[in-house]
Amino acid sequence: MPGADLPGAVQALTFLRSLPPNLHLAGHAVVVGGGDVAMDCARMALRRGACDATIVYRRSRQEMPASEEEVRETEEEGVRFQYLTSPVRILGEGKSERLECQRMTLGEPDASGRRKPVPIPGATVSFPADLVIFATGQRAELEGLGVGGLGVGVDGEGIITGMDGGVVTNSPGVFVAGGTSVVAAMKAGRAAAQGIDAYVRARPNSGSAGASPARES
């Protein structure tokens, strides 16, 4: 996006990791995205001194992936929401000053099953933005892991999955798991641990009668 390299534009995790206890933000904060991390970023921006915080999301609230509880608490904390709004570029002289956006409408469902946002011709809007935080999702870096022969893939959220979307791979004894949140990762890790336990118990001479369950981590 034009202007994304200006001072004041930052990725979500970089922003959250760089919040020392005494940090005091100033100006207007705009968060791009609609997931739980976007909610976290907007709330932290307000708590650290931003005069206001706005979440810009290209679909409607119904399509927003953040949990209902997170959205409700974010609203209660005073964060503003701009739905059906997609960022176009960041404007500013030497630093971020405004975020220019395109107004959208919802079209037919896309591959994810959510209705696809479609630009409304000539409908643009801009917001004061001294800080622009991109919380638009991340994908796992899988190069070098040799996943090609394991029968694994990547789901719509960028998470590695095994055969049929599960934790089992084509390679005996190799399991995969992951998630976009701590809770999702823990759930996937538990499923993988159960698969590992069943695999070990089924092996010849495994002593399954008295075997201890595989430890989960």
pTM of the model: 0.70
CA atoms within 13 A on the CB side of 200: 15
pLDDT tens digits, one per residue of 3-27: 999 999 999 989 998 877 667 788 9
Contact call for residues 64 and 82 (beta carbons, < 8 A)? no
Contact call for residues 78 and 114 (beta carbons, < 8 A)? no
pLDDT at 217: 39
Domain ranges of the chain: 9-134, 147-201
pLDDT at 207: 58
Which CATH number does 9-134 carry?
3.50.50.60
pLDDT at 152: 74
d(CA 140, CA 120): 33
Phi then psi for 90, rounded to 5 degrees? -105, 130
pLDDT tens digits, one per residue of 206-217: 655 444 444 443
Phi then psi for 193, rounded to 5 degrees? -60, -40
> Tokens representing 62?
């119904």
Nearest to 30 by CA among 93, 91, 79: 79
d(CA 15, CA 119): 29
Per-10-residue mean pLDDT, the chain, length 217: 94 87 84 94 94 96 91 96 97 96 92 85 96 83 65 70 81 83 84 92 68 46
pLDDT at 138: 64
pLDDT, the chain, mean:
86
Phi then psi for 31, rounded to 5 degrees? -110, 130
